Amino acid sequence: MHRQPNVHIHLGDCLPILQGMESGSVNLAYLDPPFFTQKVHRLAPRDRSREFSFDDLWSSQKEYATFLFERLSEIRRVVADDGSVFFHCDRNAVHLARAIMDDVFGSENFRSEIIWHYRRWSNSQRGLLPTHQTILYYTQSDNYTFNEIWTEYSPATNVDQILQRRSRDGSNKSVYARDEQGNAIPNGTKRGVPLSDVWDIPFLNPKAKERTGYPTQKPLLLLERIISLATNEGDCVLDPFCGSGTSLVAAQLLNRTAIGIDLSEDAVEITKQRLEEPIMSQSRLLDVGREAYRNADDNALAILQGVDYVPVQRNAGIDAILKQDFAGGPITVLVQRPGETLLEAARKLSKASASKGAKLMFLIAMSRGGCFDFAEELPTGVVVIESPALGIREHLDKLKRPDVLLEKASYLPPVKPESLFETL
């Protein structure tokens, strides 16, 4: 048994250790037990010098159910009256876990089925890519600790709706309240939308420094959210299958005390190290948000509708690549931006495409950009395509020319698109 200021780590099966604990002494239990996946998890740590592994092969579902049932029953005893339990489930065991939890804690104490959603790699082509895990949230009683977390309004939300007070009219319809002068009544400050049960938190990235090399490691952010939802400072967090100790690190960072238990010596060792030197990887994605990566903005891409393309987001010189190849290389596309000449755009596209091996590039012209004579200077392989805006604008300009009679103008023959290829 190792002792950190406010964190206790035990080595061994959690059942006897739980049995030795005082009733009601824990405010939050988080469990991520080994699952009945019939696979041995195996992963080399970052330095590739050691291997961790644990065996979660249970001879039958019944045996596994009993294993869980015994430990959960003890957990129920040690959790305080206003305490909570979060049970992290493999998708192959959710229903089993739910049934056992209903049995132990009572279905009336089931609060939420939390979906942890993340994006992930895979080359799976037949079937849907699994990108979520489930966390079952139960409380000991109706009177549980819950700290609200507010998130941002959806971009689609009508601001009026948020800012104006509402009332019911004669027929009990919800309407905006008005004062005597008919003005809207402000509704005070708004905190946002209450946290939902679907959590979008990035999966722990293979390159993250936060990684310990221990299998099934969870992101710190996930545990921080759980702990701050269900406990207050000074409360006690229990993790009976603590693995690499993410929950304990999170508890420590949030000024909670914590008790961790694990069967594996490696796990306990790693956890001790992490507690002394907690590393939370600096995630740019989390810092700046997913949106910050988008430089192929939707406006630009909307111009491309009707084309089969893949949007490209992390490259200033390329908005999209076509799904089709050409001469062994990709076909890249850029939409000219406001305030940028056609030639500038073409050079950007050409430069960015060079390293991608593209031999054909399409540039969508939004304006003439002060450069009518670009043909000679245009980088090799760049093909300019007009946007409708440009076509419309130029056509209108043409109609203003003194030598074009207005009456005749409305009878203009349509432009034959074939003329585009006259230069071929």
Partner DNA sequence: TACACCTCTGAATCTTCCA
Partner DNA sequence: CTGGAAGATTCAGAGGTGT
Which does residue 405 bind out of DNA, a copy of itself, none, counting CB within 5 to 8 angstroms by kind? none
Amino acid type, 31? L
Of the candidate spans 42-50, 213-221, 237-245, 271-279, the one that interacts with a copy of itself by CB under 8 A turns out to be: 42-50
Residues 140-159 that bind DNA (CB under 7 A): 153-154, 156-159
Segment interacting with DNA, rule: CB under 7 A, options 203-211, 233-241, 390-398, 405-413: 203-211
Determine if 119 is a binding residue for a copy of itself (CB under 8 A). yes
User: What is the phi/psi pair of residue 55, to 5°?
Assistant: -110, 115
* Binding of a copy of itself by 365 (CB under 8 A): yes
Per the CB < 8 A criterion, the answer to whether 133 and 89 are in contact is yes
| # chain residues binding DNA, by CB under 7 A | 63
Cβ neighbours around 200 below 10 Å, total: 12
Kindly determine how many residues on this chain lie close enough to bind a copy of itself according to the rule CB under 8 A. Answer: 173
56, 244, 356 from 53: Cα distances, Å: 10, 12, 40
Residue 345 backbone dihedrals phi, psi, to 5 degrees: -60, -45
Single out the segment in contact with a copy of itself by CB under 8 A; choices: 233-241, 251-259, 272-280, 387-395: 387-395
281 binds DNA (CB under 7 A): yes
Is residue 411 part of the contact set for DNA (CB under 7 A)?
A: no
53 near DNA, judged by CB under 7 A: no
- 247/353 with CB nearer a copy of itself: 353
Residue 316 interacts with which of DNA, a copy of itself, none, CB < 5 to 8 Å by class: DNA
Q: Which range in 215-223, 242-250, 265-273, 350-358 contacts a copy of itself by CB under 8 A?
A: 350-358
Locus of tokens 């509704």: 187
265-276 vs 246-253: helix crossing angle, rounded to 10: 20
Sites for a copy of itself among residues 188-217 (CB under 8 A): 188-198
Q: Which helix (H) or strand (E) holds 237?
A: strand 236-239
Neighbouring CB atoms inside 10 A of 146's CB total: 12
Confirm if 146 and 83 have CB atoms less than 8 A apart. Answer: no
The residue from 124, 305, 380, 410 that contacts DNA (CB under 7 A) is 124
Dist. CA 390–CA 369, nearest whole Å: 11
What distance in Å separates the CA atoms of residue 353 and residue 321, rounded to the nearest whole number?
10
Distance CA 36, CA 114 (A): 20
Can you tell me which of 11, 15, 253, 286 binds DNA, judged by CB under 7 A?
Answer: 286
Rounded Cα distance, 217 and 112, in Å: 23
Footprint on this chain of DNA (rule: CB under 7 A): 43-44, 46, 48, 118-127, 130, 153-154, 156-162, 164, 166-168, 173-176, 184, 187-188, 190, 192-193, 202-203, 205-209, 211, 213, 215-216, 281-286, 290, 295, 314-317, 352, 355
